[in-house]
């Protein structure tokens, strides 16, 4: 009788454990509808493919849109995750607070906007001051080609140069980063703006082939004295001026597939994927720490 009671207790505890387990959120199964800025598609695709190898029951529906629109889609609940190159601004943070969503930006890597031209372009470098002139002056004759209007490439450059009013006379929007490369090859007096992760994987033949007949411009620092190209070494050393972080955002309050994918991307496996395609994983980025010395 005693043994029967013990056995009944075991079955009862087992049933309770199974019941609790069923209530746990499933983070490796389900569908993620995500907005991705086109300039970040290569790194995003690499992370998605790697995640699906580990968790094949997760389905991704990527929507390639300019960064500004992607963030709007996230706040409109049209997507559940957005991959961008910036954090939220004050108005977006206000909306999050009103929805009682805690803002925890997930940074997973360091990318950059590189400046590309045809081989026949007269210069091999450009100062920030000269580029600012090209973007603001109606007298400039240089064509500036971005992938999309309101894209992260455009937003990064305008923000880094602190430009409030862009003269759109010489600014053109191509149909994506690949088209930017095609356009600068055809126009000798054009500068194109390209997401570095499109060509960062030096072991990828297709990636490196994109750079055929393309010149990469070195960009000056804020003093105009030192110039650096968008290379892994320079971005890792934090000396290339037009660097930008890769962010992942979700409005989800629960621990679902969105947060599972974000955690994967920011943890060891995802960071190795980012490193493999030639970007700098966020958790390997050199950081500065300031210690204040006070007597104990």
User: What's the pLDDT at 140?
Assistant: 96
Cα(296)–Cα(276) distance, rounded to whole angstroms? 45
To which residue do tokens 């603001």 refer? Answer: 136
Q: How many helices (H) and strands (E) does the chain have?
A: 11, 13
**For residues 129 and 161, is the Cβ–Cβ distance under 8 A?**
no
Q: Specify the pLDDT at position 33.
A: 98
Residue 19 has pLDDT above 60, yes or no: no
- The residue ranking higher by pLDDT, 21 or 101, is 101
Whole-angstrom distance, CA of residue 242 vs CA of residue 217? 12
Residue 12: its pLDDT value, please?
44
| 112, two tokens | 């950059």
- Looking at residue 254, what is its pLDDT? 79
pLDDT of 79 above 50: yes
User: 3-state DSSP helix/strand/coil percent for the chain, to nearest 5?
Assistant: 40, 20, 40
For 233-257, the DSSP string reads HHHHTT--TTEEEEEEE----SSSH
Query: How far out from the chain centre does Cα 202 lie?
Result: 19
pLDDT of 293 reads 53
Please, how many CA atoms are within 13 Å of residue 181, restricted to the half-sphere of its CB? Answer: 19
What pLDDT, in 10s, does the model give residues 204-223?
Answer: 888 899 999 899 999 999 99
The CA-CA-CA angle for residues 71, 77, 83, to 5°, reads 35
Average pLDDT over residues 41-62: 97
Q: Where are the domains of the chain?
A: 30-109+245-284, 111-243
Residues 163 and 132: beta-carbon distance below 8 Å: yes
- 204 or 184: which carries more pLDDT confidence? 184
Average pLDDT over residues 271-280: 97
Residue 10 confidence (pLDDT) above 50: no
As a whole number, mean pLDDT of residues 39-63 equals 97
User: Is residue 115's pLDDT more than 50?
Assistant: yes
CA distances (Å), 229 to each of 90, 125, 185, in order? 33, 8, 19
Does 231 have pLDDT greater than 90? yes
163 Cβ contact partners less than 8 Å away, ≥ 6 residues apart: 132, 135, 136
Q: To the nearest 10°, the Cα dihedral for 33, 37, 42, 44?
A: -40
Q: Could you give the percent of the chain with pLDDT greater than 90? A: 77
What is the sign, positive or negative, of the torsion defined by CA atoms of 143, 149, 151, 154?
positive
pLDDT value at residue 294: 52
Does the pLDDT of residue 1 top 80, yes or no? Answer: no
In DSSP terms, 146 is beta-bridged to 173
- Please determine, for residue 179, whether its predicted confidence score (pLDDT) is greater than 90: yes
User: Which fold does the domain 111-243 belong to in CATH?
Assistant: D-Maltodextrin-Binding Protein; domain 2 (3.40.190)
Residues 75 and 92 sit within 8 Å (Cβ to Cβ) = yes
The proportion of the chain whose per-residue pLDDT surpasses 70, expressed as a percent, equals 87
Confidence (pLDDT) at 25:
52
In the predicted structure, residue 148 carries a pLDDT above the cut 50: yes
pLDDT at 9 over 70: no
Task: Identify the pLDDT of residue 288.
Answer: 54
Residue 108 has pLDDT above 70, yes or no: yes
- Three-state DSSP at 58 gives strand
pLDDT (0 to 100) of residue 292: 52
Average pLDDT over residues 97-114: 94
Q: What fold does the segment set 30-109+245-284 form as a domain?
A: D-Maltodextrin-Binding Protein; domain 2 (3.40.190)
**The pLDDT of residue 234:** 98
Q: Is the pLDDT of residue 154 over 50?
A: yes
């Amino acid at each position: 009788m005693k043994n029967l009671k013990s056995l009944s207790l075991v079955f009862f505890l087992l049933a309770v454990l199974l019941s609790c387990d069923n209530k746990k959120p499933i983070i490796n199964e389900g569908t993620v509808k995500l907005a991705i800025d086109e300039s970040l598609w290569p790194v995003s695709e690499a992370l998605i493919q790697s995640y699906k190898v580990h968790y094949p029951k997760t389905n991704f529906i990527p929507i390639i849109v300019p960064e500004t629109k992607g963030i709007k889609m996230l706040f409109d609940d049209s997507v559940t995750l957005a991959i961008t190159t910036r954090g939220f601004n004050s108005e977006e943070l206000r909306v999050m607070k009103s929805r009682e969503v805690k803002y925890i930006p997930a940074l997973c890597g360091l990318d950059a906007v590189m400046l590309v031209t045809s081989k026949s372009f007269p210069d091999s470098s450009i100062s920030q001051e000269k580029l600012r002139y090209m973007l603001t002056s109606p007298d400039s004759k240089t064509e500036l080609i971005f992938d999309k209007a309101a894209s992260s490439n455009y937003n990064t450059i305008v923000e880094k140069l602190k430009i409030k009013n862009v003269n759109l006379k010489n600014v053109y929007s191509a149909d994506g980063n690949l088209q930017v490369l095609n356009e600068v090859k055809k126009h000798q007096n054009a500068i194109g703006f390209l997401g570095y992760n499109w060509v960062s994987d030096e072991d990828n033949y297709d990636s490196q082939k994109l750079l055929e007949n393309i010149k990469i411009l070195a960009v000056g620092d804020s003093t105009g004295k030192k110039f650096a190209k968008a290379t892994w070494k320079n971005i890792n050393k934090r000396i290339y001026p037009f660097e930008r972080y890769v962010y992942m955002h979700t409005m989800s309050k629960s621990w679902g597939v969105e947060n599972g994918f974000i955690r994967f991307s920011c943890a060891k496996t995802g960071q190795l994927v980012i490193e493999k395609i030639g970007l700098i994983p966020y958790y390997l980025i050199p950081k500065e720490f300031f210690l204040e010395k006070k007597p104990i």
